[in-house]
Structure 1
């Protein structure tokens, strides 16, 4: 066979063992894991180590059993022919190293890797290449071993996934059974059962027998829940019939009370009717709404009539408001700065007349009472001021405050002298506070 290559000799993955390890790192797998067998040398670096070309142009590769002819090179220098067959070996080596890398990274298909490795192994005996065939054969066996391990691991993972899927469906069934037997949150429980069914459809990989058993349990739980829910709403319909009858009675009583002019007790009874209405429960929606409209209409009619009566009374109270305004004008003339006792007596008489006048309109109460309180506070303030001026303890407090100021100032000076900055600052802060209190006490005494 005569071949001639005109392309520049190239190798894949660098040179020697370093190139193999570097290639593994690029693929993302740990180098130590990929190199469980020695990396295959790059044949194109030193092709003369693995083969030769004789005088007739026959190309030989060295094997454990001796030399084997792999081809013929007649179109150039013998070294070029040897390099050509070495590059072909490097192509096979690169293919095997890629299989190693993919298996080590976990991204490769172990079944495909096994098939590819077997194809390389089966062709090594007659491969027209020059390189370390023994090392490459060992590397191929390493790939086959790792592919077997990966397939076994995949089988284990599949079994684990199947077990996990069965466990998940088991958990869904148990949750459904709890809802079916215990839950009274009918809407949320019904929604959850539908969500469980949706999730059930997404859980795959359970063996058929187990899946059928679990499905029967789930279906039974759903049926039980639906029966309980149906029974509940049947009872609820009966209860709503009772509630309708009770609310009808309350409406009739509310309508009779419209004519009452006993405002306080009747208003209280309407409040009681409202409490009883809420306690009666819900009637069917259409009936409940109609009865509620009648009940509210009766309430509104009564309270509207009461409001009209109160408006008439408020008109009477308006006269009282004018009288109190006149009384306030009189009370404004009270001067507590002169004869304090006389001012107190005048205020007392104003208060008696104020109470005798009676009530005023609700919207005027705060205004009028506020003005009276202002006058009362003015007189009371004068009384308090007189008491403070006659307080026999005022001077004693001034002396006490002054003593405390001097005490803390002395402590601050002593701490400074001792070099205790922290204690000096604390004593000065306390002295400052007491000086402020002393100033306030002295001002109170001075203003007598």
Structure 2
């Protein structure tokens, strides 16, 4: 049988099947098509049969295969799209666009195969895309809420810095907050604009206050520079003084003024301080050297004064106030004639001198107290009153004995014994004042 005969046989058979229904699921792509004797190829769909093209003068299998290959490409495209949707490789919106594009390609495609099945598979993606859109909406809502909370936190922190005085840390923190703000997604326009306005206003307020503060500090530092330059000049003018006492006081006053002046500009402040300190150190070094030299000269005077003190201390305690006073006057005359002593010796020597003076004063006071007529009279009067009271109590005791009142007699004698102790002390006082 020649080729034309075979082709005519196939065409006849396919023509007979033209009115057959659409094949079921699982049927091969070729089963969805047929070829007319003139080479026109038809595809069967649920909407009916339609022509997809003409391939004349070729076997029917080849004509059908040409169009099933087109179907295979469409099926591959649908499969890839299904896989990308299921894995989330495409966003729901991008996937919907791809579905629309592929649907356009499938719907009315010049291909032979289960085109209705491909359209059904594309339709089956719609619920998945709806689910993914819902997930994306929830994720966006959550991210938006987190971004809103973060931006509100940034705004609160920015406003706190704007009201504070952290002029160094605030700059770095504002820079960090701005970088974090830019990394966050935008919110709805009204909310985002309102929060940004607050954040930006806080940053502007902080910047203005910081600039004003530094400008004020600059004025203060410049004023301090003028004051400290003058103080450094005064200190340098005094550095060669040998008027040790007054100049030392002047340097203390200069140091107080230096501290009150406040800081000058950083580099200048250190330079001025070195000038001031060098002048001060030079003066006090010269003073220390001079004092050490004086102390060496005064050491002999200290030894002589120690000898005087030892001589006077050997006559203590003072038993004769008049002799003690004469001794102290002689000590002072000889003391004054000896001159100055080293600074470290002044306090201990003067302490010993005061002790001698106090001993003399104590002896004089003791003698005056013992020879004071008024005090003697008061002591004698007290003793007389005590004696009279004792006599009265003794009489009361004897009277109680005569009545047989033992209790009252005992009370009177007990009181008389107490008064006798007081009388003894009073009589000692009379004896002291009489001596």
TM interval, short-chain normalised: 0.3 to 0.5
Structure 1 length normalisation: TM-score? 0.45
Structure 2 length normalisation: TM-score? 0.47
Which one scores higher on RCO, CA 8 angstroms, separation ≥ 6?
A: 1
